[in-house]
Each structure stands twice: as structure tokens, then as C-alpha cells.
Amino acid sequence: MIYLDYAATTPLRSEALEAMLPYLREDFGNPDSLHMLGRRAALALQDARDTIAAILGVKSAEVYFTAGGTEADNWAVRCTKAAERGIVVSAIEHHAVLEAAQLASREGRTVRYLPVGREGAVSPDALAEINGDAGLVGVMAVNNETGVMQPVAQLAAAAHARGALFFSDCVQAACSCELKPLAAVCDLLSLSAHKVGGPKGVGVLVIKKGVRMSPLIAGGEQERGLRGGTVNVAGAVGFAKALLHAVREREDFVRHTQAMRARFEARVVEKLGDAVTVDGGRRAPNISHLTFAGGGPALLGRMDLKGLACSAGAACAAHSTLPSHVMTAMGRTEDEARAGLRFSFGLQTTETEALAAAEIVVGSYRNYIGGNR
């Protein structure tokens, strides 16, 4: 199997697993317990929090552990007090943000959506109409389907100039973007461990000092009284270790994945010509979104049978038959928005795999178009 679905999830790093094991075995205590095992767990949790804070350039007290990026996104959108004045998010956000905004709308908050251009980017000018009537603006750093990178610094400045807080889902940015500059301009920022070689089931929401929040999950005084539930100590430790390695490897990751994607895309375009479109403008180096003329969901299954793992848009919406909301927001027709596939690369991807994957894509598409749909 050739794995080109690293934007969906990544293999657990051996360093993260080794760091986690003691807190799954001998040091398994609840970090809120007052005995020795509890204190050991609490110290490990604080060390993980300090590590992530240092990577992001924020205070440790601003790092809150969650059960993943989806929870962090929901917490930011639904529970930020400033959002009671109104919420503005881009039309291409992850479903975690969009559906949280829909829930907020049903709870009585005003929600508006920022458009994107055909290349998939939000223009800071789109915020011009906000005039004190929105308290929270949310735009992701890197789109999870197309890899398009958003002008976060400019968008944050525009939001702040109009009296709104700025939130960014940085889940897909963690391997390819410098995180300190992103964290510096955001009031809230979400990350997920399993996108950087950490374990599934743990994430972070950065909440800057002075941002007023209410809990999303009640039932305990954990995370400074803002998130009920026993914190996943082993997961937090694994996340910190994985993020530390991802940041150290960032330059290699960017260089390698960009090269693998270039080889893959060049081979597919060479063989298929105008039948394939490379989507998006300024993109993160590891994500390729291709639209196939006359393509459809069955194309993904054909590639899977040939030994290629990729995604039809976001993995979280892979079972949906609806057209991609990202591609329709970028001006594509519904048929075009159903005809796209995402291929995402990692440091483990070899040139042999990239070129073999391209041949699988070409062969699968030709067979599909040949009438055996």
C-alpha cells in the first residue's frame, strides 16, 4: 500500500510512543490525585504543557489540552464570550468549525461566512464590512482539502482593527508552517496531535490571557476550571514529544514533501493533460488536490484496490456523497466538486512511491473514463 493520506492522520512517532509508555504503565496516576502517582502524572502533564507553550511562544497557562482538534474548534467557536456579539468564519473551514458555527447560530448568535477566490484564499478586504458587530473571526491557517495557505497575519490584523478576536484552526499547518508567528497574532489557536506523529485523541486550544471563555465540557475543575474530565496524560506527553520533533524537522519536511508532490503532479499532468486540474493557489507543500474531468467518488475506490491510499476531500467527511463545500466555495460546479481527490505526502514518502502513485492515478482514471464506472 502506498500511503498518500498524511493530511488525514500520520503514523505514531517512535519517540512519542516511548515517551507515552510510562504513563500507560507504571506512572498511570490521575494528575488530580494528591498521592505520589498523581503528582508524577501532574508533573509530566505540566512538562508537556511547558514544551508546547515554548514551541508556540506562548505562556504555559495559555495552553489547554483537549480530546483533539475538533473539540478545540468547537470550544473556540461556541464558548468564547466575545462570540456572543457575532461570529465570522470562512466558507472553507473544517467541518468542526462550520458545524460549531451552525450550532451557535441555532443558539441565537449571528454567523456570517467569508468568501474565497477561485484560488481558495480569503482576502483581508472581506472583513471590511465588519463594524463592531462581530466578536470572533475564524480562518484556518492551511485548508485541509486543498492545502491553500491563508494570510493569517493580515486577517488577524483586520479582525483586531474591527474590534474582534481572531481564531485560527492550525491543525494542518503544524508540520509545514512556522508556529510562533501564527500563535503571535492569534487570540485562539487549535492543534491536533495525530497530524504531527502524535497519538489520536489529544489536541490543544491556545487561549490567550484576557480572552474570556466558558467551559464546553462540564463535570470537573481540570484545565484551570475550563474543561471537565481527566486529562489524557500519556496523550499530552506524546503530543509534546511529537510536536517537538515535527518543528525540528520542518525545513526537511517542507523540502521533501514539496519535491515528492512536484514529481507526482508532474507525472499525472504529463499523462492526463487537460483532464486533470491542480487546485489551489499558494499551498502548503504536502497537499495536492486534483480535480478529474468526469471523475466521481468511485475513482477513489479504484485507486484503493490498486494499492493507493488517498482521500476524497477531508477524511472527516469521506463518507458523504455531497459535493465538497471547499470546492463549491472556490467557484466549482457541483459535478466538479465531486470529482476531486486529495493526495498528501509525508517525510516517509519516497520518490518511487510518488511516481508509482501517479501511475496508479493515471491508470485508474483512464479505466474509469473508459466506461467501467
Output the nine-digit C-alpha cell for 305: 484496490
Tell me the pTM: 0.95
Instruction: Specify which residues 63 forms β-bridges with.
Output: 206
How many other CB atoms sit within 10 Å of the CB of residue 133?
Answer: 14
- What is the DSSP secondary structure assignment for residue 58, as one 8-state letter? S
Q: Nearest 5°: CA angle at 257, between 347 and 52?
A: 60
| Distances in whole angstroms, Cα of residue 196 to Cα of each of 55, 282, 338, 372 | 13, 21, 28, 38
Q: What contacts 244, CB < 8 A, 6 or more positions away? A: 51, 55
- The predicted structure's pLDDT at residue 75: 98
Catalytic residue, candidates 79, 175, 177, 316: 316
CA distance 142 to 73: 14
- The predicted structure's pLDDT at residue 317: 52
Residue among 344, 258, 273 nearest 308 (CA)? 344
| Distances in whole angstroms, Cα of residue 142 to Cα of each of 89, 302, 365 | 14, 28, 28
CA distance 306 to 327: 26
Q: What contacts 52, CB < 8 A, 6 or more positions away? A: 63, 191, 204, 239, 240, 243
- The predicted structure's pLDDT at residue 175: 97
- The predicted structure's pLDDT at residue 131: 84
Which segments in the chain show pLDDT lower than 50?
A: 373
Report all structural domains of the chain as residue ranges with CATH numbers, in order of start.
Answer: 2-8+250-369 (3.90.1150.10), 14-248 (3.40.640.10)
Annotated catalytic, 316? yes
- The predicted structure's pLDDT at residue 261: 98
Compute φ and ψ for 349, nearest 5 degrees: -70, 130
| Distances in whole angstroms, Cα of residue 298 to Cα of each of 25, 212, 282, 301 | 44, 46, 29, 5
- The predicted structure's pLDDT at residue 373: 47
